Amino acid sequence: MDKSQQKSESLTQVIASSGSFQIELVEHAGSNDNETLIKVSESLAKEYGPAARLTENTIQKYFNRKGTLPFIARDQGEIVGYMIGVPLEMLSREPWARLDTNFNKNNTIYTYAFVVEKNSKGTGCAKILKRVFLNQTKKQENILYVTGHVRKGIAARFKGDIDIVDRIDNWQGTGKVFEYYRSCLLYTSDAADEGLV
């Protein structure tokens, strides 16, 4: 296989599977999956604006950058969702990230994205994806916390030791109130019956 073929094809590792459904850790996102990943991200763009939509550049940045934890969910071979964790320090251009008390401690993964296609909601796909994400994050050396931004009230439904660190009245210009939460992985349930973003 030549280098152009290698770059065009995704390289993943199956972490969990059941029947035709599986969760894969993405070691390299190839261009062959760009169109589908961008399509899946459309549901975020509808709710949170065009900045939430994946692009070829953001796929390279968040799926293929060393240190990130990108996962995809496939059903019958088709990508139906994804979840991406990035080290907090990777977001150094964001003022809220620099203000986090754990910034530069290399102990926090930020949930950059968590999306499941509309047709796959209610099937358990999101719960399994989040469970795998949390379990794999716990295995990362020195990582003690997971953080993220969710709509107001969502974090209250999470299980485990959850702190609301900040509240943003107009998140990314959406007009929606979001909360920045921090979850201690030591106290996060493996069942991961958390609410959905």
Asked whether 150 and 197 are in contact (CB, 8 A), the reply is yes
pLDDT at 6: 44
pLDDT at 148: 95
pLDDT at 172: 81
Q: Is 52 left (phi over 0), alpha (psi -120 to 50) or beta?
A: alpha
Q: Say how far residue 60 (Cα) sits from the centre of its chain.
A: 15
User: What are the angstrom distances between the C-alpha of 110 and each of 38, 62, 76, 114, 162?
Assistant: 21, 12, 29, 11, 14
- Whether the per-residue pLDDT at 44 is higher than 50: the answer is yes
Helix (H) or strand (E) holding 4: helix 3-8
Residue ranges in 54-113 assigned as alpha helix (H): 56-63, 95-99
| DSSP-derived secondary structure letter, 31 | G
Number of H helices, E strands in the chain: 5, 8
Place of tokens 């953080």: 147
Backbone angles phi, psi at 98, to 5 degrees: -65, -25
Higher-confidence residue: 6 or 139?
Answer: 139
- Whether the per-residue pLDDT at 197 is higher than 70: the answer is no
pLDDT tens digits, residue range 121-176?
777 788 899 999 999 999 999 999 999 999 999 998 888 889 999 999 988 888 88
Place of tokens 């809220």: 96
